[in-house]
Amino acid sequence: MPKNENAPKNPALKPVRGTHDILPADYRRHRMVVETARRVAAQYGYGEMSMPIFEFTEVFQRTLGDTSDIVSKEMYTFADRSGDSLTLRPEATAGVARAFLSNGLIQELPLKVFCQGPMFRYERPQKGRLRQFHQIDVELLGVAEALGDVEIIALGADALNALGLKDKVTLELNTLGDLESRLAYRSTLVDYLSGHATKLSSDSRARLERNPLRILDSKNEGDRAIIADAPLISDSLNFSSRRIFEDLCAGLTTAGISYRLNPRLVRGLDYYCHAAFEFTTEALGAQGTVLAGGRYDGLIAQMGGQPTPGTGWAAGVERLAMLIEAPSEAPRPIAVVPVGEDQDAQALAITLRLRRAGFTVELGYSGKVKKRMKRANKLNACAAVVLGSEEAARQAVMVRNMDTGEEAEVSLESLEAHLACHR
C-alpha cells in the first residue's frame, strides 16, 4: 500500500501496530478469498458457523498449552469489568470445540463446519504477519479415519485451485503418530537435542523438557542447523500409526493431490496427532505458509468432553489475498446527473428506481452539470442519465453513452428497457 503523505500526526489516529484497514480495492481480494473458500466448503457439505471473537482465556490456554507460542507470548488477554479473564481469539479450532461442547452437538457427528473472521496475536508485525489478521477455517469432528484428513486436505486444495494458486503452492505432509509413537519419538529427540543443548536458543532450551517436539518448529537459524540432523518421527512410528499414515498418503493419491513428505513438519499446537500438513508458497518470502492444519483427536477430551476425533485447517486470508489476481471490477455504474437543483428531487427518485430495478447507479450529488459529468467520468460510468427541465416537461431524460458520447432522448417510461444492456 502506498505511503500516505496526508497521514495525521496524532498517534491516536493511526491504526494500532499490526492492524490495518482493508480499503475497498483490497477488500475485493479479501472477499474473493473468503467467498471462494465458503463456496468450496459448501460443496463439501460444510456448514458455516460463527463463534464470538473472545472466549474465556481458559478455552485457549488449556487447549493450546502453556508452551505454545500463542499462549506463552501472543494472546490478547484482559480482565473484563466483572473480573473474568477473556482472550481475543488467536485461532478458531478451540472455539469450534468449545461451541461443540456448549451446544451439546454430539448427536450431530460427524460435524462439518466452515468459519472465517479476524484472529488476534501479539506478534512482531511484518509482511504477512499481523496482530489482527483473518483466517478461513474448516473443521471435521467425529471422523477418526484417514479419509477425514483426505477430505479436508482436498477441500483446501480445491479452494486454492479455485483461487488460481495451483502452481504457486506445495502441500507438505507429515505424521505425528499416536501418543505412543510421539512419546517414543520424544525420548529419542530429547536424547539427541540434549547433546546440543548449549547451542540451542534459550526458547528451545526451555522447551527441551516441556515440549521438545516444538523445537522442530523453531525459526532460529542456529536451532535449524541442529534440527537438520535430528532423528525423524518416521523411525518412531508404531504399526498402527504407520498404517494410518499410509491410508492418508494412498487417499491423497486417489484424490489426485500431490504432496511432498516433510518429516520435520510439526504443528505449533499441543493437541495435534497423526496428520500434519501445510500448503506453502515461495512467493511470500519468510511468511510462506498459507494454509496449515492437522488432526487433533485429543482436543475435545482435553476440554472435558467425550473423546471425539477431529481434523481441520486454517488459512491466512491476507497471505492468500496477496497471491491472487485482482478480481474483475464491479459493474460500471450508470450516473444520474441533474442539470440544476430543480431536478435534484427527480434525480433521487430515478436513482432509487433504477437501483431497485437492479442497476448500479451513482447520483451526481451537487455542483454544476460540468462538474457532475466529470465525476461520472471518474467513476467510469458507462452511461449518464441527464435530467434537464426541457426533457422533464416531455416526461423524458437524455441518456449519454459515456464511451461514444452519443446522446438520445429516452422517455421515462422506457428508461429501464433502454439501459438494459448496462445491467
Asked whether the beta carbons of 416 and 361 are under 8 A apart, the reply is: no
With a CB cutoff of 8 Å and minimum separation 6, the contacts of 267 are 176, 217, 276, 292, 293, 294
194 or 287: CB nearest ligand ATP: 287
163 or 314: CB nearest ligand ATP: 314
Q: Is the peptide bond before 110 cis (omega within 30 degrees of 0)?
A: yes
Least distance between ligand ATP and beta carbon 400 (Å): 46
Write out the three cell numbers for 163: 483461487
Q: How many residues bind ligand ATP (CB under 6 A)?
A: 18
Among 29, 37, 91, 182, binds ligand ATP (CB under 6 A): 91
Taking the mean position of all CA atoms in its chain, how far away is CA 395?
A: 51
Q: Which residues ranging from 306 to 345 are in contact with ligand ATP (CB under 6 A)? A: 314-316, 318-319
Least distance between ligand ATP and beta carbon 273 (Å): 16
Is the four-CA dihedral 50, 111, 313, 154 of positive or negative sign? Answer: negative
- For 344-374, give the DSSP string: HHHHHHHHHHHHHTT--EEE--SS-HHHHHH
Q: 3-class SS at 82?
A: coil
Q: What are phi and psi of 274, to 5 degrees?
A: 50, -125
Least distance between ligand ATP and beta carbon 18 (Å): 8
Write out the three cell numbers for 245: 499414515
- For residue 276, what is the enclosing H or E element? strand 273-281
Q: Which residues ranging from 273 to 292 are in contact with ligand ATP (CB under 6 A)? A: 287, 289-290, 292
Write out the three cell numbers for 18: 499490526
Instruction: Convert residues 43-82 into a mask of x (bound to ligand ATP by CB under 6 A) and - (unbound).
Output: ----------------------------------------
128 or 263: CB nearest ligand ATP: 128
Find the residue with minimal CB distance to ligand ATP.
Answer: 316
Q: Which residues ranging from 123 to 182 are in contact with ligand ATP (CB under 6 A)? A: 123, 128-130, 133, 135
Least distance between ligand ATP and beta carbon 88 (Å): 13
Least distance between ligand ATP and beta carbon 161 (Å): 17
Least distance between ligand ATP and beta carbon 204 (Å): 15
Residues near ligand ATP (CB under 6 A) are 91, 121, 123, 128-130, 133, 135, 268, 287, 289-290, 292, 314-316, 318-319
